[in-house]
């Protein structure tokens, strides 16, 4: 990550000495940060290619240290162009990658060539443990593992820390434990569900946005939904856990063409998971996974009527997306009609008014069955990620279905299996 003048924002690496061994540690952040956080948070910053930056770091550290470690917020999502797997393949001199971003749980780590990738999952469910074995100054073995909360129950609590935490919990608990209503069904906010399909919780949140704003339609991103709620009482604390980012609701006056573009952006990698996946209210749409990216969304209805790309609509969304977050740049320049309270507050008020909610998956988002694959003939100058982008998939998926040993080595005339158009 660099400033506009080309200088690095942070110290690029550090060298730690442990038991006589020198460990070089450098960090990498995903370029997705530019659209997966509020755009105002990254104004004036440039996120460079992680692979190219890693090569620079390795060149600086090589010969100075015994072990090279990358602390990477890249992840392994198939919808991501820059992943820790790609990094390990491209920069094999890295001994260990401690990964994040995709919430992947690797029980025993993952070896990619001679690089060990470790990832401990999400929300402090595990601690990661790495064991490096040396013979003299030579690193001869690497091992990754996880330590669960249950396995640490025997460790005595630090009394000072415990008192501080409990004090905060007591004060917050007075508010967060308030029951605001009930749900007759489990509200589904599981990561693997909300990032690639309609869920009843996504519908409830989008409905609350319409309720508070009176907009023609609403869109919210699946990546902003962070938990499920079991059937029974619903507390304020549970809603804040589901919607932890403090986003507020914005309405914008948009053309139908912008709504179409927004939906296309959200389903671009479908059927792969995507944090930008659009949950909706006041509209329905169909996904055709056999189509190219940019042409997958069909049969869009607003209030039961076919979308008119030239008509003006009032669209409710969250301020993150309204500013172009998650790649929704087509919304950034549209005129803001109004601003409303925080999204979590709107959902709380919506549930309080109804007292008992029972949202359903009702076909707001329909997906046509995927068709069979077809063959693409590699042309001079082709690279795998561009081919994948053309067919609305990822280079990792093409590697998997084509069983390619080296994704960086394709040649003219080669046959590549791709999703059928």
Give CA angle at 23 (21, 28), nearest 5°: 170
Q: How, if at all, do strands 115-118 and 96-99 pair?
A: parallel
pLDDT mean over 84-111: 95
Packing angle, helices 200-213 and 343-354, rounded to 10: 90
Q: Is it the case that residue 121 has pLDDT exceeding 80?
A: yes
Of 43-52, 107-116, 224-233, 299-308, where does mean pLDDT reach its minimum? 43-52
Q: Is it the case that residue 394 has pLDDT exceeding 70?
A: yes
Higher pLDDT, 232 or 155: 232
Q: Is it the case that residue 292 has pLDDT exceeding 90?
A: no
Distance CA 142, CA 306 (A): 58
Question: What pLDDT was estimated at residue 185?
Answer: 97
* Reported confidence tier of residue 176, pLDDT bands at 50, 70, 90: very high
* Reported confidence tier of residue 11, pLDDT bands at 50, 70, 90: confident
- The CATH classification number of 170-367 equals 3.90.780.10
Question: What pLDDT was estimated at residue 372?
Answer: 65
Beta-sheet strand order (sheet of 248-255): 278-281, 217-221, 312-318, 248-255, 335-342
Question: What pLDDT was estimated at residue 303?
Answer: 95
Q: Give 192-245 pLDDT, tens digit per residue.
A: 999 999 999 999 999 999 999 999 999 999 999 999 999 999 999 999 999 999
* Cβ atoms of 221 and 262 closer than 8 Å: no
**Which residue(s) pair with 129 in the sheet?**
145
Question: What pLDDT was estimated at residue 9?
Answer: 78
Q: Is it the case that residue 139 has pLDDT exceeding 70?
A: yes
Distance CA 168, CA 157 (A): 16
Q: Which of 51, 1, 36 is nearest to 407 (CA)?
A: 51
**Alpha-carbon distance values, 396 to 36, 204, 241, 281, 387 (Å):** 21, 34, 32, 33, 11
Question: What pLDDT was estimated at residue 370?
Answer: 64
Percent of the chain past pLDDT 70, that is, above it, reads: 99
* Reported confidence tier of residue 421, pLDDT bands at 50, 70, 90: low
pLDDT mean over 88-110: 94
* Reported confidence tier of residue 248, pLDDT bands at 50, 70, 90: very high
* Cβ atoms of 411 and 377 closer than 8 Å: no
360: number of Cβ within 10 Å: 12
- The 10 Å CB-count burial string (b at 16+, else e) for 179-190 is ebbebeeebbbe
Of 279-283, 372-376, 386-390, where does mean pLDDT reach its minimum? 372-376
**Which residue(s) pair with 366 in the sheet?**
286
Residues, the chain, total? 421
Question: What pLDDT was estimated at residue 99?
Answer: 96
Question: What pLDDT was estimated at residue 81?
Answer: 87
- The 10 Å CB-count burial string (b at 16+, else e) for 36-66 is bebeeebeeeebeebeebbeebbeebeeebb
* Cβ atoms of 159 and 167 closer than 8 Å: no
pLDDT mean over 392-407: 86
Question: What pLDDT was estimated at residue 400?
Answer: 84
* Reported confidence tier of residue 78, pLDDT bands at 50, 70, 90: confident
Q: Is 0.85 surpassed by the pTM of this model?
A: no
Question: What pLDDT was estimated at residue 1?
Answer: 63
Instruction: Give the per-residue SS3 of the chain.
Output: CEECCCCECCCCEEEEEECCEEEEEEEEECCCHHHHCCHHHHCCEECCCHHHHHHHHHHHHCCCCCEEEEEEECCCCCCCCCCHHHHHHHCCCCCEEEECCCCCECCCCEEECCEEEECECCCCCEEEEEEEEEECCEEEEEEEEEEECHHHCCCCCCHHHHHHHHHHHHHHHHHHCCEEEEECCCECCCHHHHCCCCCHHHHHHHHHHHHHHCCCEEEEEHHHCCCCECCEEEEHHHHHHHCCCCCEEEEEEEEHHHHHHHHHHHCCCCCCCCCCCEEEECEEEEECCCCCCCCCEEEEEECCEECCCCCEEEEEEEHHHHCCHHHCHHHHCCEEEEEEEEHHHHHHHHHHHHCEECCCCCCCEEECCCCCEEEEECCCCCCHHHHHHHCCCCHHHHHHHHCCCCCCCCCCCCEEEEECC
pLDDT mean over 253-276: 95
Region of residue 76 (left: phi > 0; alpha: psi -120 to 50; beta: else): alpha
* Cβ atoms of 307 and 256 closer than 8 Å: yes
Of 70-79, 207-216, 275-284, 369-378, where does mean pLDDT reach its minimum? 369-378
Question: What pLDDT was estimated at residue 371?
Answer: 62
* Cβ atoms of 54 and 28 closer than 8 Å: yes
Q: Give 16-29 pLDDT, tens digit per residue.
A: 999 899 999 999 99
* Reported confidence tier of residue 68, pLDDT bands at 50, 70, 90: very high
Q: In CATH, which of 3.30.365.10, 3.10.350.10, 3.40.50.720, 3.30.70.60 is domain 373-419?
A: 3.10.350.10
Question: What pLDDT was estimated at residue 36?
Answer: 73
Compute the mean pLDDT over every residue in the chain, rounded to the nearest whole number.
Answer: 92
Q: Is it the case that residue 262 has pLDDT exceeding 90?
A: yes
Whether the bond between 404 and the residue before it is cis, its omega within 30 degrees of 0, is no
Higher pLDDT, 303 or 34: 303
Higher pLDDT, 81 or 278: 278
* CB neighbour class for 401 (10 Å; exposed up to 12, middle 13-18, buried from 19): middle
Domain regions of the chain by residue span: 2-152, 170-367, 373-419
- The CATH classification number of 2-152 equals 3.60.21.10
Higher pLDDT, 122 or 353: 353
């Amino acid at each position: 990550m660099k400033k506009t003048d080309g200088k690095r924002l942070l110290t690029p690496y550090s060298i730690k000495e442990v038991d006589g061994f020198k460990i070089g540690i450098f960090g990498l952040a995903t370029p997705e940060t530019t659209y997966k956080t509020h755009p105002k948070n990254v104004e004036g910053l440039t996120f460079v290619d992680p692979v190219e930056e890693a090569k620079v770091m390795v060149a600086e550290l090589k010969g100075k240290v015994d072990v090279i470690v990358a602390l990477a917020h890249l992840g392994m999502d198939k919808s991501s162009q820059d992943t820790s797997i790609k990094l390990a393949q491209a920069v094999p001199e890295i001994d260990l990658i401690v990964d994040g971003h995709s919430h992947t749980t690797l029980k025993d780590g993952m070896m990619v060539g001679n690089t060990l990738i470790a990832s401990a999952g999400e929300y402090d469910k595990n601690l990661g443990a790495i064991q490096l074995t040396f013979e003299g100054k030579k690193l001869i073995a690497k091992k990754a593992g996880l330590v669960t909360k249950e396995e640490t129950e025997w460790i005595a609590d630090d009394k000072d820390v415990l008192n501080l935490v409990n004090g905060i919990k007591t004060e917050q608990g007075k508010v967060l434990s308030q029951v605001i209503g009930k749900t007759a069904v489990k509200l589904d906010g599981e990561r693997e569900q909300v990032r690639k399909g309609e869920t009843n919780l996504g519908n409830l949140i989008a409905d609350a946005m319409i309720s508070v704003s009176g907009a023609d339609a609403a869109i919210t991103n699946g990546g902003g939904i962070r938990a499920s709620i079991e059937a029974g009482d619903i507390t304020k604390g549970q809603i804040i856990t589901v919607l932890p980012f403090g986003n507020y609701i914005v309405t914008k006056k948009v053309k139908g063409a912008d709504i179409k573009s927004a939906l296309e952006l959200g389903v671009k990698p479908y059927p792969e998971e995507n944090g930008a996946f659009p949950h909706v209210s006041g509209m329905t749409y169909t996904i055709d996974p056999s189509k190219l990216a940019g042409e997958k969304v069909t049969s869009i209805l607003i209030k039961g009527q076919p979308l008119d790309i030239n008509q003006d609509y009032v669209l409710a969304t969250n301020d993150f997306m309204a500013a172009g977050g998650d790649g929704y740049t087509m919304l950034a320049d549209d005129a803001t009609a109004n601003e409303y309270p925080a999204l979590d507050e709107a959902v709380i008020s919506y549930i309080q008014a109804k007292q008992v909610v029972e949202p359903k998956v009702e076909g707001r988002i329909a997906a046509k069955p995927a068709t069979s694959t077809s063959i693409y003939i590699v042309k001079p100058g082709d690279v795998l990620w561009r081919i994948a982008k053309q067919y609305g998939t990822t280079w990792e998926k093409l590697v998997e279905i084509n069983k390619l040993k080296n994704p960086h080595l394709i040649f003219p005339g080669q046959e590549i299996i791709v999703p059928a158009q």
